[in-house]
Amino acid sequence: MTEKFKEDNKVFLTHGYFIHEDAKEQLIMKPYPPLGILYVSAFLEQEGIANEVFDSTFSDFETLCASLIKNQPKIIGIYTNLMTKLNVLRIIKFIKSTEKLQQTKIVLGGPEVRYHIENFLRNGADFLVVGEGEESMLELSQYILRDVRQGESENRGSELFKIQGLAYLSNDGKVIKTAERTLRKDMDSLPLPNRKRINLGLYLDAWKKKHGTSTISVSTMRGCPYTCKWCSRAVYGQSYRRRSAASVVNELETLQKEYTFDTIWFVDDVFTISHKWLSEFKQEIKAKNLKVAFECITRADRMNAQVINDLKESGCFRVWIGAESGSQKILDAMDRRVRASQVSEMIQLAKHAGLETGTFIMVGYPGETEADLEQTILHLKSADPDYYTLTLAYPITGTELFEETESLFTLKPDWSSSTDRDIDFKRTYPRRYYDFAIRRIYNEVAYAKCRTRRDGNLLQSGTYKLKSIAAKAAMLLSRI
């Protein structure tokens, strides 16, 4: 471990998400701590780099700015994703216009930076960490802090270029990209997220107040080897690397000792991707006699009766099984590599085993017709998940969906004042059609659920049906 730097040389980490600015999330109220920067914080601390984490979730922009002026950090590292991009640009502008922060180096990382390198650099970022962040941020911090204490060295440029996974502007304004950072293979060597740097109680209390239960998020793997065209793989690539089952269970045991909470949310893309790992996880849980309740996300083609049994015996109470559409034509267009019938079958099998189930539905995908939407409604009725989400497809820069629809864009606002969510493309039907389609799906499925319940309210079911019919009529009118 290197010698600790003085406090006045510390790194300041934040993420620029303010829940009070997000009306939808205030209604949902399921906030999760910023695990990405907490991993970076722990890694820097392990290597002797003093750092502070400003968790902006329950704070505000003005308080963040005041904290920056008070700390005057040598480095600020900001996690940047699609949701936080505009706030990140606002933070950069504040730093660049504040006299006391002129020596602060701005470092951005996260999924939004890879495909917007020049834009972020031209808008004030000093460095971008592209890809997996811990080692690149460590080496960059050591480099910057060494220059701060000793003055810039003559071979500064060549030293900087040796750091993998960076992007920055040269002295003459050219974009420099260093070699891609080699992905870490040994995931157990990473320290656990530095949760002590934030007030985790704020998250637990928010959950408890809104839902009656509290939850903590945990990551067991990085990357996803699948090829869904709408999914961004900007940070970890198309990889699959995982911590050992023993390491994960040790983390769960530690969390239970340090915090009071009800459930665990595993943030992994495909929790049951390895059946061998899942079996080991179950055995580790039993060996330590841990009682945990968790929910996770997976794919139907990585499930079977044994997997469902292992999930249940490990403490799983709810499993989310990705669907995206009930139309096989659309699933194939997405390159989902799963059958709609598989999804329905696994949802039913999991429910039969006593697990709660959830799924995800995306509407407005290129080529989707009304017939495809009707298949999605039938799929939701027959699969009958306990929960499902509905979203409108939008193209994220760097994905195959973006490339396939770029020539069809009908709306792409100025980069510095918008996000990819604001992009729209020519779909099968007019944009407003899909607002009504979402209403139709929701009300038609709610009608079916209400009718199948023994205590189903006839008045309520009739209301759902009328709303479904009205939405379908609006869909027709919007097409005309």
Distance CA 51, CA 75 (A): 9
| CATH (residue range 213-389) | 3.80.30.20
295-341 per-position pLDDT tens digit: 999 999 999 999 999 999 999 999 999 999 999 999 999 999 999 99
Q: Which of 202, 194, 164, 167 has the alpha carbon at shortest distance from 181?
A: 164
Q: Provide the whole-model pTM.
A: 0.94
187-199 per-position pLDDT tens digit: 999 999 999 999 9
Q: In Å, what is the CA distance from 68 to each residue of 72, 105, 230? A: 6, 12, 36
Distance CA 70, CA 451 (A): 60
Q: Strand 127-129 to strand 166-169: parallel, antiparallel, or no bridges (unpaired)?
A: antiparallel
Q: Which residues belong to CATH 3.80.30.20 in the chain?
A: 213-389
Distance CA 345, CA 88 (A): 43
pLDDT at position 174 is 97
Q: Where are the alpha helices (DSSP H) in 114-244?
A: 117-122, 134-150, 156-161, 200-211
pLDDT at position 155 is 57
Look-up of token digits 């940047």: 80
**What is the mean predicted confidence (pLDDT) over 358-370?**
98
210-242 per-position pLDDT tens digit: 999 999 999 999 999 999 999 999 999 888 999
Residue 181 tokens read as 């950072």
Q: In Å, what is the CA distance from 154 to each residue of 159, 251, 377? A: 10, 45, 66
Q: Which of 277, 366, 280 has the alpha carbon at shortest distance from 324?
A: 366
Hey, is 264 helix, strand or coil? strand
Distance CA 231, CA 236 (A): 12
CATH class, domain 7-177, is alpha beta
- Distance between start and end Cα atoms, the chain: 68
Q: Which residues belong to CATH 3.40.50.280 in the chain?
A: 7-177
Q: Are 388 and 417 within 8 A, CB to CB?
A: no
